[in-house]
Amino acid sequence: MQARYARNLETLSEEEVAFLGGKTVAVVGLGGLGGYLVEYLARLGVGGIMAADGDRFDESNLNRQLLSDAISVGEGKAEAARRRMALVNPQLRFVSIPSRIDSENGVELLRGADIIMDAVDTIPARLALQEIAEDLGVPLVHGAVAGWYGQVATIFPGDRTLDEIYRNPAARGGRGIEERLGNLSFGPAIVAGLQAAEAVKVLLDRGATLRNGLLVIDLLDYEFDLIELGKQGA
Amino acid sequence: MNVTVRLFATFREGRGKELSLEMAEDATPAIVAERLGIGVKDIAILLVNGRDGKVDGSLAEGDRVSFFPPVGGG
C-alpha cells in the first residue's frame, strides 16, 4: 500500500483501501458540495472520480466553493476540478464531464460509476439524478445546503426517498430556502463531509447508513434530527 | 383536540420551535399549516408522529406534526 494512504489505517483495513481504489464515484455538481466531495474522496483513495458540471466559476462562488479561487473565476468547474486533482492525487482516474447532467444525457455520461453523489443546486435536477441512479442500478448519496441548514440521505434504486423530501418540487422555481438564505463557507463542507462518510460506508458495507432516512442539520440551534423516510421505513 | 407542531429551519422565524395548538376535530396538517401562516406549497417534508404524512390526512388528539421547508442548495 502506498504511503499516501498510511493514515487511513487502522480505521480502514488495507483490503478496504485497495477496494476503494478500484471504485469510481460520480460527483454531480461541482459547486459548494461538489468541490469538497471531489477533494475528500480523492484524498481518501477512491480510485476513480467522474466530476460533472456545465457551469463556470463566478465571483459569488468564492465564499464557499473550494475549487474556485481568484485565478479560476471564469473557468469551467469541471476543468478546475481536473486541474486541482492533478495536484492532489495524480494517480486518480479522473473523468471531467463539462456538462449539465439531465435525464437525457445522465445515464450515458455517468455509466461506470459505482455510486453517485448528489451535489446539484436545483430540486428538479436532484429528482432527475434519482431516476438516473435508479436506471444505472447504483446508490445515490443526497446532500443539500441552505444557510445554517443542511441534509443528507442515501437512496438505493427503488427507494425514491427524494419524492418524500421534496413533495412540492416545482414550488419556488425548483429552489429551496437557499434562494433567500444563500450559503456560508462551512455548511457545504460539513454536509459534503457527511456525504463522503456515507459513500465510503455504502461502498464498504460498513456501519450505519442513512438509507430510508434523512439527517437534518441545523447549525444555528445545533440540532441533528434523523427522520425516517422511504418505502422500507414507512 | 390538542396537536403539537414542530417547526424546522426558516419555519421557526417568528413562530418558535415547537407549538401546542388547540384544533377542531376535523383538522388536517394543511389546516394546521394555514393557522401558522405556512403555505402548503412551501412545505417540503411533512411528518405526522415521525412518519411521512399527507397534507389532507386526519389528525388525532396528541399527534405531533412536523413541517420542514425545502433545502436544495448545492
Of A29, A178, A227, the CB nearest to B71: A178
pLDDT confidence of residue A67: 97
**A149 has a chain B CB within 8 A of its CB:** yes
pLDDT confidence of residue A233: 38
The yes-or-no verdict on residue B14 having pLDDT over 50 is: yes
Q: Work out the average pLDDT over B36-51.
A: 96
**Domain span at A62:** 3-233
CB crowding A124-158: b at 16 or more within 10 Å, else e: bbbbbbbebbbebebbbbbbbbbbbbbbbbbbbee
Q: CB B72 to CB A122 under 8 A? A: yes
What does chain A come to in residues? 234
- Give the A window 42-71 contacts with B, CB below 8 Å: none
Distance (Å) from the C-alpha of residue A233 to the closest C-alpha of chain B? 8
- Domain tally, chain A: 1
pLDDT confidence of residue A93: 98
Grid look-up 440551534 returns A221
Q: Tell me which of B45, B48, B71 to substitute to probe the interface with A (most A C-beta atoms closer than 10 Å).
A: B71
> What domains does chain B contain, in order, with CATH numbers?
2-68 (3.10.20.30)
The three-point CA angle B9-B12-B13 to 5° equals 105
Considering chain B, what percentage of its residues have pLDDT values greater than 70? 100
pLDDT confidence of residue A168: 86
pLDDT confidence of residue A231: 55
pLDDT confidence of residue A172: 79
N-term to C-term CA, chain A = 43
CATH code at A9? 3.40.50.720
Question: Does this complex have an ipTM over 0.90?
Answer: yes
Taking 70 as the pLDDT cut, the residues of chain A under it are 230-234
Q: CB B69 to CB A177 under 8 A? A: yes
pLDDT confidence of residue A1: 82
